[in-house]
Each structure stands twice: as C-alpha cells, then as structure tokens.
Amino acid sequence: MTSDHTKYTFGQPRIVRQINLQTVTRQMRKMELFSKIGLARELGISTTTMTKLFAQLEEQGLISRSEVEDTSFGRPKILYQLAPELQVAAIVIDLQETTICFSDLQGSAKPEHMLKLPTGIDVDDLFARIKREFTTLKTRLNAQCRLIGVCIPGLIESQTGQSMLNPNLHWLEGVRPAERISEALSIDTFVMHEERALSRAQLRTPDATSNYISMDFSAGVGMSVVVNGQPLLGSSGYAGEIGHIIMQPGGKQCGCGNRGCLETVASDLVFFSELDLPPAAALELLANRNPRALKIAENVLEWQAKGIAAAINIFNPDRVFIYSRLAQVYPYYIEDLRKEVKRWTIGLLFDNCRIRTTHEGKLTGALLLTIDRLIEKKALNAE
Ligand SMILES: [Zn+2]
C-alpha cells in the first residue's frame, strides 16, 4: 500500500456499490450499539439492503453481535457493535514531535493509547525509534493492529508514497515512510498527507458540511479543500498548497525555494521565530498580553486572513476550519480574523461562509482516515 488516494481497481460488491459504505460505517461509529432497522431508518436505506450489508460486514469481521438485546419496542431486536478487537494505529510525523496512537474503530485519540517522541533530524534514527516505541506501546496495550496510517507534511507521490517535497522536513524527501514502517513492523501501512487528515477530522464536528476548507497555520501553511464530500486532489494529488503562493515578492526565504510565500508570513512558526522563543514561552507571553507579542500576532493574523480570503474567493466553501495555536491564547482571535477576512473577500462569498477555529487535529483525522481505509479494504475485498 502506498498513499491515501490510491484507486481501487477491482470491482465492488453489489451492496457496497448500491449504498455509500462510508456513510453507514460513519453512522455506526457515532453509536456504541446499533440495530439494522434503526440504522436503515436513520439513513433512509431499505431494511432489505441494510440486512445484506450487515451480513457482509459481519462476515468480514467488521461488526459483531452484542450481548445486549433491545426490547424497548416490545419485540427483541439484535444489536450490533463495531468489532472491538479491530485496532489501527496512526503515526503523525510533525516538525518537532512524532505521535504514535492506537485506536479501535471508534477513532478516539485517548491519551493512554498514545506516546510522543521528538522527531529529530535524522531519518534512520527516527524510524528506529518509531519501531522501538511502537512495539513497546503495542505490547503494553496488547493491541492487535491491522493497519497503520502514517501522516506527513509536504507533497507525496501517489503511486509510491514517496515524500517528494517537504519544505519543513527536507530530510524526509526521497523517503517512503509507509514502506519503511511496514518493513520494520511487519504491519500493513500507508501514507497520508497531513492536511487531508486535518480535513477528515472536521467531519466529526457537529456542523460538518460537504463543501468546506480546512486551513492549517501550525507549522507551515496548508489547506485541504472538500467539494461535494470529496477531497480535491488535483491531477497528481498535490492540490492545496496555498502556503506557497507569493505574498511578498522578494520577501523571506521559504523552504520551497521561493521567497515571500504565505507560509513565511502567516504561520505560527513565524510568530515563535520573530519572538525568538520556544512555542510554549511565546504563547505564554501572548496570553499575558505582552505588547510586542500582541503586535507580532496581529501581523501574523492579518496574513492568515489574506490567505483565508483568497481560498474563500476561489472555492466558495460554506465552512472554513482554522487550525492555529495562536487561537488558543490570542484574545478575540476569531472575531479579529473574521473582520480581516471580510475586508479581503467578495461580500456574497463571505456572507455564505462560516469561519471557525478547530481543535480536532491531525491525529484524530489520521486515525479516522486509517479506519476508513481499513473498512474499505475489508469490505471491498469481500467480493
Ligand atoms: Zn514556499
């Protein structure tokens, strides 16, 4: 397996073709226990179709009958649950920190199921430490992991899963992280783009829609665009690199090789580096309303707003989810941001769009994408 948007080339089973498998399994994930009739009613799918789908999912070991029976309507009804023994893991390689996390098919990132290690700057050393720490955690949790999703920044070649351009982790370029991890741990592994993970996490929010954008200002500046429920990938899967549009010709050097990209003026890293402080100390200054920290943060926020406005003008989303650490401590962050975005956006498009901050990060999204992939793989292989 390679990257997160490899197309399935084999035929799909009839029932899976008839209904949206992900719609059903996502609904299942919202409930601890569910019944065929309840789910059919909820999703407007016929009971006959649902019965066939349940049989298929049960055969593939994705769902299992629960001990409990629902007798609330007089007649006993069998309840099901997502197979509790199926586990996946996500490995999120970020600029400073790498996180390993296990989860069942519900996809919650529980602190007791994860560990963090410094990412460092040496590729062989990082993969050796991932192998060691992953094995320790797996043993401690007694987890039977069926699939690992590795989440990385930068451009990923879709066929090979190779990191092609990685402005903030140059040493990952040319590396195929899924291959390395799969070889080291002997577990099926695929690689995904961090912005797709962040964007997938937003489907969990109460007001999720099918036309939205998520924008990430945490390290570089990244974006994922979802149109009619599908991520926009572009011809090579590289779409969304808004961080590398030029905002200041001849400006600061960017990791991509150009100068003055949005990323060089609008990311949280710019705020930290201009204060010349580690993130925690810089954020503390901002929380205490230090005038210099506030001024730098205001400037970064203005650039973020320009990037967001450009995205709204181009894609006409009805939601924009913003991930920035500044939002955690900056007073009135979202109010100030909305005001600025409004200045730079066509009125009709702005009025149609809600801008909000998000705390559902890459890790949650990486787990959810890994679960999606496992379910698809098992269900589609069932033919
Ligand atoms: Zn750039």
Whole-number Å distance, alpha carbon 184 to ligand 1 midpoint, is 33
Whole-number Å distance, alpha carbon 200 to ligand 1 midpoint, is 24
The residue-averaged pLDDT of 300-320 equals: 97
Whole-number Å distance, alpha carbon 270 to ligand 1 midpoint, is 13
267 DSSP assignment:
S
Q: What is the pLDDT of residue 12?
A: 47
Whole-number Å distance, alpha carbon 243 to ligand 1 midpoint, is 6
Whole-number Å distance, alpha carbon 330 to ligand 1 midpoint, is 26
* Confidence class for position 382, pLDDT limits 50, 70, 90: low
Whole-number Å distance, alpha carbon 303 to ligand 1 midpoint, is 14
Whole-number Å distance, alpha carbon 259 to ligand 1 midpoint, is 7
Q: What is the pLDDT of residue 5?
A: 44
Whole-number Å distance, alpha carbon 264 to ligand 1 midpoint, is 7
Percent of the chain whose predicted confidence (pLDDT) is above 70: 91
pLDDT for 18 beyond 70 = no
Q: What is the pLDDT of residue 76?
A: 66
Whole-number Å distance, alpha carbon 167 to ligand 1 midpoint, is 7
Q: What is the pLDDT of residue 75?
A: 64
Q: Are 281 and 175 in contact (CB under 8 A)?
A: no
The residue-averaged pLDDT of 217-239 equals: 90
The lowest-confidence range among 34-48, 56-70, 337-351 is 56-70
Whole-number Å distance, alpha carbon 263 to ligand 1 midpoint, is 6
The residue-averaged pLDDT of 8-26 equals: 59
Whole-number Å distance, alpha carbon 194 to ligand 1 midpoint, is 17
Q: What is the pLDDT of residue 325?
A: 93
Whole-number Å distance, alpha carbon 252 to ligand 1 midpoint, is 10
Q: What is the pLDDT of residue 364?
A: 92
| Predicted TM-score of the model (pTM) | 0.84
Whole-number Å distance, alpha carbon 244 to ligand 1 midpoint, is 4
The residue-averaged pLDDT of 117-137 equals: 96
9: amino acid identity, one letter? T
pLDDT for 211 beyond 60 = yes
Domains delineated in the chain: 14-83 (1.10.10.10), 87-198+363-375 (3.30.420.40), 206-359 (3.30.420.40)
The residue-averaged pLDDT of 129-145 equals: 94
Helix, strand, coil content of the chain in percent (nearest 5): 45, 20, 35
String of DSSP letters for 116-150: EEE--S-HHHHHHHHHHHHHHHHHHHT--EEEEEE
The lowest-confidence range among 160-169, 187-196, 203-212, 339-348 is 203-212
**Which residues are found with C-beta within 5 Å of the ion, ligand 1?**
244, 254, 256, 258, 261
Which of 31, 29, 61 shows the shortest CA–CA distance to 382?
61
* Confidence class for position 275, pLDDT limits 50, 70, 90: very high
pLDDT digits (tens, 9 = 90+) for 150-197: 999 999 998 899 999 998 899 999 999 999 999 999 999 999 999 999
Q: What is the pLDDT of residue 147?
A: 96
Rounded to the nearest integer, the mean pLDDT of the chain is 89
Q: Are 232 and 239 in contact (CB under 8 A)?
A: yes
* Confidence class for position 8, pLDDT limits 50, 70, 90: very low
The residue-averaged pLDDT of 288-304 equals: 96
The residue-averaged pLDDT of 213-217 equals: 95
Whole-number Å distance, alpha carbon 150 to ligand 1 midpoint, is 24
- Name which residue leads in pLDDT, 27 or 121: 121
34 DSSP assignment:
B
Burial of 257 (0-12, 13-18, 19+ CB in 10 A): exposed
Whole-number Å distance, alpha carbon 196 to ligand 1 midpoint, is 19
Whole-number Å distance, alpha carbon 19 to ligand 1 midpoint, is 41
pLDDT for 137 beyond 70 = yes
Whole-number Å distance, alpha carbon 254 to ligand 1 midpoint, is 5
Q: What is the pLDDT of residue 71?
A: 62
Q: What is the pLDDT of residue 377?
A: 83
Q: What is the pLDDT of residue 173?
A: 95
Whole-number Å distance, alpha carbon 220 to ligand 1 midpoint, is 9
pLDDT digits (tens, 9 = 90+) for 54-105: 888 888 888 998 866 656 666 667 899 988 888 999 999 998 899 999 999 8
For helices 47-59 and 21-30, give the axis angle rounded to 10 degrees: 80
How many whole angstroms from its chain centre is CA 44?
Answer: 28
